[in-house]
Structure 1
């Protein structure tokens, strides 16, 4: 006769994919019930730790764990490439934008330096600490990128989560009354842009996943190329330099390169690469649209509109092309 505790364990185990339950469910139920007095099983429940462990196992088994069916292996590969690509874009921005800002500040005289330093002093301990953290913590993206490609997964997860923290301050500050949230949709999309890659990295680069690998090039060379593209976007094409301008330009160049590479060597890429890049493109497109929306009906320079709309069109076309290429890639495999 099935006890209430056994039924509860089986309910929780339904979090696991069907292929995993077929192989391991009975063994796992026996292990959980081992040593539990049968007379007390109707008054017992799975512990919080056991439920959390099963939930983590459900994520791993769906994202390319050993022995997973092909669709789960492809899903895991795609999520890992999505996380790695997004972390690369964010890491380049986290390094280049502060360097350019510091270069501009300290080459424009003492008045500009005082104006820069005033952002970090005289506003109260909390506000000043947050301002410093918003400069320093995003460097965690660079730590996460290199740690991931050197198979230091725990360090990569820590770096990504730490780097994503500053995106929460506008939301927390508005709730606490410390700041006014003037563009909630844009702020929310920016938070999504950093937290989705961070959570994808934590979920997909689990202990059973294969080591992270770039499709081409070495980690340092690829990072340098991303930094050059980011700097060029901000210096040579400054018409629409908002927070998504440089990462989106890097994505456009990288996605075009992937499409060319995929045409020439269709069997060399990671499974699910096209769909992963399409998902990243869709995320960047959503942030770009959120950045443009507050300016509708407001007089702005024509250069801003032309640049932003051009980038929006490029993102939309590339996202569609990547999705089509990704579906063809999966069908061919």
Structure 2
């Protein structure tokens, strides 16, 4: 798949839920290759603005080239955890925030990025290739116990200890440098393959989430969204695995309920400060989209609206 043909998941559904004020300020926290951004810009008036954010230097370069003549668009290099820096002095004025979580298709499709267990490439997995520890550095130096914890917690891998042990034994002979090398060791250590899923899937997912700090970034972004969004502003989040979706679902639910006060406290429901309300039910891709783009199969979109303080 070429970079300019990358298809954003739940494209129309996400943008329709996001853009409630055509003249407002919006944040696309995960630019990728700009599918969502392009459609947002189509929905905005001349007064509207879109600030895109991405960790990946390739995505940032692509954005600057693709939207070079678009005065309503700007791109900021960094994590969506720090999106408040991208709209400094605009807190409380953002009309919508979109987060399309996880690894992007262009990153998966490029073997040299090291995300794929299906293509051989350097074992990297960093979304921001300008900083941080690579996957190779991590698997070659981390303790066996910590690897097992990461595989279990972030990959929900039931054979985490077995796989961490296999990696530790092999790296004692020679270090890991390539994706397929690691995938084969994990594959051999997996005694019960899941139908339709590569036996290395969960371990690769766990390593990627860990070295990129994806869940920590998500927690920070969710908290900051409450300050950034104006009343009526929308928070739209597309998740691709249960760990992310549980975090998002719990966050929206907790903000809908407001602070949990001791039972029996003489406080009316209308006096409890609630910051979000959920909009509709969780949205999943239609069968037609799944048929055209297999990545959309696991996508779950949740939408919430900022309430007035």
Q: Return the TM-score normalized by structure 2.
A: 0.28
Q: Which has the larger radius of gyration?
A: 1
Q: Return the TM-score normalized by structure 1.
A: 0.26
Pick the structure with more strand per residue: 2
